[in-house]
Amino acid sequence: MALYLRFLTDRAETYSVVKTASRAIFSVHEVALVPRDQNPTKSELCKAVREQAKRNEVWLGGEEPQGSHARGSVGSRKNDQYRDGDVVYVSRGSGKHFCPVDLAETLIEAGQLSGAVNLFQGWDGRKAVRDPQVPLNGRHMDYHVCRREIVRMVAQGTGKTEEEVRQVFGTQSMRSGGATVVARKVSFEDFMRHGHWMTASAATRYIEPSTEERVAVTVAADY
């Protein structure tokens, strides 16, 4: 069952296809009176495949980074009521080593990417050990591989071991750090739209309150 869902993940353009198929399989087993704890869609492997499908991000073909900003396409997300994906706009910054648009341009050039393809692609790890120039496989990068590579690069850049990095740095670290920085500079509506949060409560969890904001609660008590 997990292999079938993975098959859909590699070929479907949106997560809703994988989700609908998984739900249909679940319903068939429910009608057949299969106990829920034995339903194949409840397995940890199937859950991992569905989670990976959620993170399938694609750069829009014909809209490579240029000028003052770039456009990126995400096949599906939690607040996508119409199930037709969404577009993310990213501005070009002045920091060459940190600007996501410049980094995307470097990745597109190095990977010789064009058209409607996955910006972050996977590769054959065994072949890469023998040949660093191994070509990308065209499929989107597995979430767990992406997390591992981020930890490895942070470890190399900081001189720490990968285990030390894992203790203080998670995959949500950059998301929460960036959210905290920009939340106070743009409207909350624009903030939620760009971050694609479904509810305000989900978005605010990524904003770290300042010391002044924490102290303000007891200041208001006026004791």
Mean pLDDT of 175-198: 84
Predicted local distance difference test score (pLDDT) of residue 116: 63
* Cross-strand partners of 91: 69
Separation CA 64–CA 71 (nearest Å): 7
Cα–Cα distances in Å, from 133 out to 35, 111, 128, 148? Answer: 49, 10, 7, 20
Separation CA 70–CA 164 (nearest Å): 34
40 and 63 in one domain? no
CB within 8 A of 16, min separation 6: which ones?
Answer: 76, 83
Compute the half-sphere exposure of residue 223: CA atoms within 13 Å on the CB side of its CA. Answer: 5
Average pLDDT, the chain: 77
Return the percentage of the chain with pLDDT > 90, whole number. Answer: 4
pLDDT at 169 over 70: yes
pLDDT at 12 over 50: yes
Residue at a domain's end among 102, 117, 140: 140
Predicted local distance difference test score (pLDDT) of residue 74: 67
Name the helix (H) or strand (E) containing 87. Answer: strand 86-91
Predicted local distance difference test score (pLDDT) of residue 132: 59
pLDDT at 215 over 90: yes
Predicted local distance difference test score (pLDDT) of residue 218: 93
Residue 157 lies in a domain: no
76 and 28 in one domain? no
CB within 8 A of 6, min separation 6: which ones?
Answer: 49
Residue 125 lies in a domain: yes
Residues 83-134 have pLDDT tens digits of 555 677 888 887 767 788 888 778 777 777 766 667 777 766 666 656 656 6
72 and 40 in one domain? no
pLDDT at 60 over 50: no
Cα–Cα distances in Å, from 214 out to 106, 207, 209? Answer: 41, 13, 7
Mean pLDDT of 143-168: 84
pLDDT at 80 over 70: no
Grade residue 66 by pLDDT with cuts at 50, 70 and 90.
low
Grade residue 69 by pLDDT with cuts at 50, 70 and 90.
confident
Predicted local distance difference test score (pLDDT) of residue 115: 63
Residue at a domain's end among 103, 122, 140: 140
127 and 71 in one domain? yes
130 and 62 in one domain? yes
Contact 22, 12 (CB under 8 A): no
Residue 196 lies in a domain: no
Residue 61 lies in a domain: yes
Contact 135, 111 (CB under 8 A): no
Q: For residue 182, how many other CB atoms are within 10 A of its CB?
A: 13
Mean pLDDT of 164-169: 83
Query: How many separate domains does the chain show?
Result: 2
40 and 70 in one domain? no
96 and 32 in one domain? no
**CA-only gyration radius of the chain, Å:** 21
pLDDT at 58 over 50: no
Pairing relation of β-strands 69-74 and 86-91?
A: antiparallel
Q: Torsions phi, psi of 43, nearest 5?
A: -65, 155
Domain housing 27: 2-54
Residue at a domain's end among 109, 140, 171: 140
Residue 96 lies in a domain: yes
97 and 30 in one domain? no
Residue 100 lies in a domain: yes
Predicted local distance difference test score (pLDDT) of residue 57: 43
Q: For residue 108, how many other CB atoms are within 10 A of its CB?
A: 16
